[in-house]
């Protein structure tokens, strides 16, 4: 034993089963060793011959020490670049109790609404806040970034107009929209044959070819302009008006919703979410009532439970890509729930007066700066502004200011012929002094700052906000820290997260999100960098990107990586666009057919359509494998126009298809490329790889396989890895050099997406190292096969490999019990047992898909299996007539504490059977759902998606 090694290697913290458990579990499974089990699971033809080229593991302590030296290579300047990213003060009560709290960040997307009422309320608050600030009635629960939100609006209004006009394809965009947003619009417009025309607003020509316009308010250069007449003209011509805006500015400005805008989008980052060198933060999307059924992304709505109690859930879910597939207009799945929750809490903590005071302070500070710069002889171009000054300069002065600013540790924005300065709530008097000093120095003048005397607002009277906002009690009740802390905790207590029990979500890989991986995300050297600073100030980040890209290439077997996409679905979209660009570069613009197996996740066809492809569905056989004959027939039929196959591996049925190499080769023979959906990489890393099976490109859901938490529905990251044939086409960025030489336009607003959370995946690989990363895959397979062995006989397991093994997940068929119960009944009943349901009815209706991950130990797996086996007995009880077929523990699940403790008990079974069906529940594992089963249809018929005026909010 080397005395220099740490006894507590991270691998033993991350992986659940210990050595003794491993042996017991293998015995139950009936495998002689772990290696043997893996051999029986992963086909020999695709096994990697060599170990992954990854570094050796570091202990948590060693990792954090090393990360400190990397962090020191980032320089945290005072940054006034603006352009959608601002300094902000995260209230410590929010930082500590939400951002750094696994009770919040390890939650899953709130599909099981009865055990998600806390985050659903927090997201409803976010929607209400967005609706209030923008002056529009409907808002969604977040999108990935401002650029994506603008692109979604463009796509939505194009879809609306196409029902009336076959010729209106022009989207007129103000040249004062942020450059990264314009870049993203171009990406999204090209495959959809939308023409993006960028011009000064004064030159807009609203003709019959135009379906929509996009404005930025305040404008990209900081000017506050009056767009009311333009909006009226647009409406007279049935042209939709979308406005990119800033929630803080809207505390002082007349909101676009009040002057007629049809949609308002933007970034809520400056409501208390650190910049994080680009993200994550929550974009917002608000619109008029008439578009409520077209709005992209998730909307939280109000409904009732089966006892008539108010209850929240995701509304209008039938619009989601899962259901609409190639008819979906957006592929958004993972969004930015955690960050939306933080922004909503920021509004709740500050309240309307607080938000207004922050806006006034920012505006006042900006006015003081303007006065001082004018006194120094500089000319400020914007007659009206909120937080941004545009100082006209010649090139020489601009250069001199930049040099002096850098020397003083300050970043401004430098558009042609100007210096642009955007202030925020973090600016202190000393910061103002430092800025003024830079400008004085360039003019060789003495510094005599005058920091008082704010005049009237520099906002036209007609555009000064008069309407109230944030009037709901939720924004007026929690202004002391005690109250806010308790409100956050009260909501957290309604939500089941990984802090309670395993969340065995097939395809979603809810593994450990280790504290040592998460902690550095809050370090100022990572949290407080603006995405558009000169890259030489981000040396630490660049090192991490370079190393992480190399790790991800090692894991996938590919040659290059783009860290830009902000989610798995965005990765799919980006990857397909590189394929499209590749075919175009080879003169094959006609290649536009995407073959997609019927078992694919709904985002696959949705992304393909967004990438301008025509979707052809390939059928699957009874074992859940791709029907190779059907694939061959379709590859031949569409040979001339074949663009790509999208394939998930192991399949969404949790099976390593043995014919995968043949499948990929077939596509290549017909000139197509193979896109592999990487959601199931947790079954591959270290054992096989996308390159090994013959794919050309894949995305990795870092929020599944690489330990980024799900955050209750985001953030996530979906980088793509490609082979050399696609490398030249990796996405670029308008403001920062990245991507391939023939790279496509950007797919995210920030060059490296949600950069700060890449740290989590980086830490995951560094602390597990070559051995631990592979072991994670092996133990994930072990755990799934253990559950299979324990449940088999009582439940039918669908789709196993040729040797009867499942991969890292398994599907249990509940259709045999259809006459007695539904799959949903089982999902809801699991709540009474303290568990979150597995994935429900995907990829097969009437089934549940269980994915335990490597992080769960044997006792946790056993508790889950006991619950499942007990539920099986309950089903039998109904089948034999012992239990009431209409009113039983399953049909009435989940049972709330209110119900179980009420004087009235209307059921034929006991309260104990309802709430404590197994002994372990009395040993501290009970979790109480806060509402009974929710009526989804009621809420969709009566759509309410802002906070209703209800007594429940009263303190």
DSSP string for 440-486:
HHHTT-----------S-SS-GGGB--S----SGGGSS--SHHHHHH
The interface region with ligand PLP, picked from 565-573, 653-661, 735-743, 885-893 by CB under 6 A, is 565-573
- 280 burial (CB, 10 Å; 0-12 / 13-18 / 19+) is buried
Is residue 718 part of the contact set for ligand PLP (CB under 6 A)?
yes
The smaller minimum CB distance to ligand PLP, of residues 373 and 646, is found at 646
Cβ at position 915, least distance to ligand PLP in Å: 33
Closest approach, Cβ 295 to ligand PLP, in A, equals: 18
- Choice between 122 and 679, CB closer to ligand PLP: 679
Q: Shortest approach of ligand PLP to residue 321 CB, angstroms? A: 9
Question: What's the closest the beta carbon of residue 334 comes to ligand PLP, in angstroms?
Answer: 3
CB of 320 to ligand PLP, least distance (A): 11
Binding to ligand PLP in span 77-96, by CB under 6 A: none
Among 118, 568, 763, 877, binds ligand PLP (CB under 6 A): 568
Window of 54-62, 74-82, 257-265, 566-574 that interacts with ligand PLP by CB under 6 A: 566-574
**Between residues 330 and 648, which has the closer beta carbon with respect to ligand PLP?**
648
Nearer to ligand PLP, 682 or 783 (CB): 682
Q: What is the dihedral of CA 333, 339, 341, 345, to 10 degrees?
A: -160
What pairing do the DSSP bridges indicate for beta strands 697-699 and 810-813?
unpaired
Nearest residue (CB) to ligand PLP, 112 versus 134:
112
Q: Which is closer to ligand PLP, CB of 651 or CB of 946?
A: 651
Contact 615, 609 (CB under 8 A): yes
Summarize the chain as % helix, strand, coil (round to 5).
45, 15, 45
Nearest-approach distance from CB 568 to ligand PLP, in angstroms: 2
| Cβ distance to ligand PLP smaller for residue 772 or 843 | 843
Cα separation of 324 and 377, whole Å?
A: 60
> DSSP label at 542?
H
> Of the ranges 66-74, 80-88, 563-571, 848-856, which one interacts with ligand PLP (CB under 6 A)?
563-571
Task: Give the single-character DSSP code of 287.
Answer: E
Site string for ligand PLP, 675-704 (x = CB under 6 A): --x-x---------------------x---
C-alpha distances (whole Å) from 555 to each of 54, 57, 759 are 9, 16, 17
Using CB under 6 A as the binding rule, whether residue 569 contacts ligand PLP is answered as: yes
Nearest-10 Cα torsion for 65, 68, 70, 75: -170
Q: Which of residues 578 and 891 has its CB atom nearest to ligand PLP in the complex?
A: 578
The DSSP secondary-structure symbol of 754 reads S
Give the shortest CB-415-to-ligand PLP separation in angstroms. Answer: 34
**DSSP character for 567?**
S
Phi, psi of 187 (to 5 degrees): -55, -50
Contact assessment for residue 73 and residue 536, using Cβ atoms and an 8 Å cutoff: no
Closest CA to 810 of 829, 827, 791, 794: 791
Tokens of 61: 């302590």
Rounded to an integer, what distance in angstroms lies between the CA atom of residue 721 and that of residue 718? 10
Q: Taking contact as CB under 6 A, which single stretch among the options 236-244, 434-442, 562-570, 778-786 is the one that binds ligand PLP?
A: 562-570
Q: Which of 709, 735, 717, 714 is nearest to 562 (CA)?
A: 717
Q: Which is nearer to ligand PLP, 295 or 419 (CB)?
A: 295
Question: Interface mask (CB under 6 A) for ligand PLP, residues 458-497, using x and -?
Answer: ----------------------------------------
From residue 877, alpha-carbon distances to 34, 829, 885, 889 in Å are 38, 14, 9, 10
Nearest approach, Cβ of 575 to ligand PLP (angstroms)?
A: 12
Residue 683 contacts residue 849 (beta carbons within 8 Å):
no
Distance CA 806, CA 798 (A): 9
Interface with ligand PLP (CB under 6 A), residue from 603, 776, 806, 847: 603
Q: Where are the beta strands (DSSP E) in 678-756?
A: 697-699, 720-722
**Distance of CA 486 to CAs 93, 129, 351, 466, 612, Å?**
10, 20, 17, 33, 49
Q: 677 or 832, CB closer to ligand PLP?
A: 677
- Taking CB positions, which residue lies at the least distance from ligand PLP? 568
- From the list 257, 694, 716, 743, which residue makes contact with ligand PLP (rule: CB under 6 A)? 716
- Provide the mask over 639-658, with x wherever binding to ligand PLP is found by CB under 6 A and - wherever it is not: ---------x---x------
**How many binding residues for ligand PLP (CB under 6 A)?**
16
Scanning 12-20, 47-55, 564-572, 682-690 for contacts with ligand PLP by CB under 6 A, the matching segment is 564-572
DSSP SS3 for 288? coil
Pick from 601, 673, 808, 895: which binds ligand PLP (CB under 6 A)? 601
Question: Which DSSP string do the residues of 630-658 spell out, in sequence order?
Answer: HHHHHHHHTGGGEEEEEEESS-TTS---T
Nearest to 760 by CA among 5, 14, 236, 75: 14
- Could you say whether residue 272 binds ligand PLP (CB under 6 A)? no
C-beta of 533: minimal distance to ligand PLP in Å? 27
Token readout for 304 is 């009732």
713 binds ligand PLP (CB under 6 A): no
Q: Contact, 931 vs 899, CB < 8 A?
A: no
Pick between residue 580 and residue 710 the one whose CB is nearest to ligand PLP: 710
Considering only CA atoms, which of 471, 490, 492 is closest in space to residue 482? Answer: 490
Half-sphere exposure at residue 949, Cβ-oriented, CA atoms within 13 angstroms:
3
The residue range among 100-108, 561-569, 750-758, 829-837 that interacts with ligand PLP, by the rule CB under 6 A, is 561-569
Which range touches ligand PLP (CB under 6 A), out of 128-136, 473-481, 567-575, 884-892?
A: 567-575
**Cis, peptide link before residue 894, omega less than 30° from 0:** yes
- For residue 508, the minimal CB distance to ligand PLP (Å) is 6
Give the three-state DSSP class for 696. Answer: coil
The verdict on 783 binding ligand PLP (CB under 6 A) reads no
Do β-strands 593-597 and 642-648 pair in parallel, antiparallel, or remain unpaired? Answer: parallel
3-state secondary structure of 5: coil
Closer CB to ligand PLP, residue 221 or residue 680? 680
Least Å distance, CB 648 to ligand PLP, is 5
What would the x/- binding string for ligand PLP be over residues 316 to 335, using CB under 6 A?
-----------------xx-
Contact flag: residue 513 with ligand PLP (CB under 6 A): no
Residue closer to ligand PLP (CB basis): 365 or 652? 652
Cα 787 to Cα 770: distance, rounded to the nearest angstrom: 27
Q: Which is nearer to ligand PLP, 349 or 656 (CB)?
A: 656
**507 touches ligand PLP (CB under 6 A):** yes
Q: CB–CB of 866/874 below 8 Å?
A: no
In whole angstroms, how close is the CB of 506 to ligand PLP at the nearest point? 8
How far is it, in rounded angstroms, from Cα 315 to Cα 305?
14
Binding site for ligand PLP (CB under 6 A): 333-334, 507-508, 567-569, 601, 603, 648, 652, 677, 679, 701, 716, 718
């Amino acid at each position: 034993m080397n005395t220099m090694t740490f006894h507590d290697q991270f691998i033993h913290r991350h992986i659940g089963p210990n050595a003794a458990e491993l042996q017991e579990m293998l015995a139950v499974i009936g495998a002689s060793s772990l290696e043997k089990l893996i051999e029986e699971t992963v086909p020999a033809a695709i096994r990697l011959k060599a170990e992954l080229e990854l570094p050796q593991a570091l202990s948590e302590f060693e990792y954090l020490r090393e990360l400190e030296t990397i962090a020191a290579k980032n320089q945290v300047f005072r940054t006034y670049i603006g352009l959608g990213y601002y300094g902000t003060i995260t209230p410590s009560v929010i930082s500590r109790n939400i951002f750094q709290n696994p009770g919040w960040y390890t939650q899953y997307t709130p599909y099981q609404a009865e055990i998600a009422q806390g985050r659903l309320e927090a997201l409803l608050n976010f929607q209400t806040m967005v609706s209030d600030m923008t002056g529009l009635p409907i808002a969604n629960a977040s999108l990935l970034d401002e650029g994506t939100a603008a692109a979604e609006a463009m796509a939505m209004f194009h879809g609306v107009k196409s029902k009336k006009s076959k010729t209106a394809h022009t989207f007129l965009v103000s040249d004062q929209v942020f450059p990264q947003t314009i870049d993203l619009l171009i990406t999204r417009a090209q495959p959809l044959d939308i023409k993006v025309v960028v011009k000064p607003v004064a030159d807009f020509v609203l003709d019959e070819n135009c379906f929509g316009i996009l404005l930025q308010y305040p404008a990209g250069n900081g000017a506050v302009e009056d767009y009311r007449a333009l909006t009226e003209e647009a409406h007279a011509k049935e042209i939709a008006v979308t406005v990119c805006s800033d929630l803080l500015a809207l505390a002082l400005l007349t909101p676009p919703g009040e002057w007629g805008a049809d949609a308002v989008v933007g970034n809520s980052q400056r409501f208390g979410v650190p910049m994080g060198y680009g993200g994550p933060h929550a974009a917002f999307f608000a619109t008029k009532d008439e578009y409520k059924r077209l709005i992209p992304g998730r909307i939280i709505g109000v409904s009732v439970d089966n006892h008539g109690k108010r209850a929240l859930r995701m509304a209008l879910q039938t619009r989601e890509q899962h259901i609409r597939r190639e008819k979906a207009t957006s592929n958004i799945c993972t969004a930015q729930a955690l960050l939306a929750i933080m922004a909503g809490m920021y509004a709740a903590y500050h309240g309307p007066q607080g938000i207004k005071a922050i806006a006034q302070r920012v505006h006042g500070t900006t006015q003081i700066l303007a006065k001082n710069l004018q006194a120094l002889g500089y000319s400020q171009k914007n007659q009206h502004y909120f937080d941004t000054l545009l100082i006209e300069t010649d090139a020489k002065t601009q250069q001199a200011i930049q040099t002096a600013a850098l020397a003083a540790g300050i970043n401004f924005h430098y558009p042609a012929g100007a210096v642009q300065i955007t202030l925020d709530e973090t600016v202190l008097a000393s910061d103002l002094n430092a800025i003024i000093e830079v400008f004085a120095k360039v003019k060789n003048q003495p510094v005599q700052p005058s920091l008082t005397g704010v005049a009237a607002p520099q906002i036209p009277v007609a555009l000064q906000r008069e309407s109230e906002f944030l009037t709901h009690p939720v924004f007026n009740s929690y202004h002391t820290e005690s109250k806010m802390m308790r409100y956050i905790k009260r909501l957290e207590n309604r939500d089941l997260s990984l802090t309670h029990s395993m969340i065995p979500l097939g395809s979603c890989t809810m593994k450990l999100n280790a504290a040592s991986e998460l902690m550095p995300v809050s370090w100022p050297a990572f949290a407080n960098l603006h995405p558009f600073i000169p890259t030489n100030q981000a040396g630490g980040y660049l090192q991490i990107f370079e190393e992480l890209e190399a790790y991800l290439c090692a894991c996938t077997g590919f040659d290059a990586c783009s860290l830009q996409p902000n989610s798995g679905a965005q990765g799919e979209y980006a990857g397909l666009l590189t394929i499209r660009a590749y075919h175009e570069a080879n003169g094959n613009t006609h290649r536009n057919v995407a073959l997609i197996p019927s078992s694919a996740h709904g985002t696959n066809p949705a992304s393909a359509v967004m990438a301008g492809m025509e979707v052809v569905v390939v059928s699957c056989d009874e074992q859940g494998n791709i029907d190779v004959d059907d694939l061959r027939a379709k590859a031949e039929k569409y040979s001339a126009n074949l663009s790509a196959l999208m394939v998930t591996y192991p399949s969404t049925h949790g099976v390593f298809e043995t014919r995968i190499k043949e499948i990929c080769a077939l596509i290549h023979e017909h000139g197509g490329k193979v896109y592999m959906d990487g959601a199931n990489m947790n079954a591959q890393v270290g054992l096989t790889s996308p390159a090994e099976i013959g794919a050309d490109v894949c995305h990795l859901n870092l929020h599944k396989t690489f330990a980024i938490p799900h955050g209750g529905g985001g953030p996530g990251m979906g980088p793509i890895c490609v082979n050399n044939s696609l490398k030249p086409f990796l996405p670029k960025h308008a403001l920062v050099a990245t991507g391939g030489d023939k790279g496509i336009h950007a797919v995210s607003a920030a060059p490296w997406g949600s950069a700060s959370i890449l740290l989590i995946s980086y830490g995951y690989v560094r602390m597990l190292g070559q051995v631990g990363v592979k072991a994670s895959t092996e133990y994930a397979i072990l755990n799934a096969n253990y559950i299979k062995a324990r449940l088999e006989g009582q439940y039918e397991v669908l789709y196993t490999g040729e040797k009867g093994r499942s991969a890292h997940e398994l599907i249990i068929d509940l259709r045999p019990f259809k006459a007695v119960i539904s799959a949903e009944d089982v999902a809801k009943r699991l709540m009474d047992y303290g568990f979150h349901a597995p994935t429900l009815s995907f990829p097969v209706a009437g089934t549940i898909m269980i994915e335990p991950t490597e992080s769960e130990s044997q006792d946790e797996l056993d508790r889950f299996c006991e619950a499942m086996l007990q539920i099986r007995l309950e089903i039998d009880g109904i089948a034999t007539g012992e239990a009431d077929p209409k009113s039983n523990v399953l049909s009435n699940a989940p049972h709330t504490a209110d119900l179980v403790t009420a004087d009235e008990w209307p059921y034929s079974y006991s309260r104990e059977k309802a709430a404590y069906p197994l002994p372990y529940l009395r040993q501290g594992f009970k979790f109480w759902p806060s509402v009974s089963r929710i009526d989804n249809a009621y809420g969709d018929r009566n759509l309410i998606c802002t906070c209703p005026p209800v007594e429940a909010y009263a303190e």
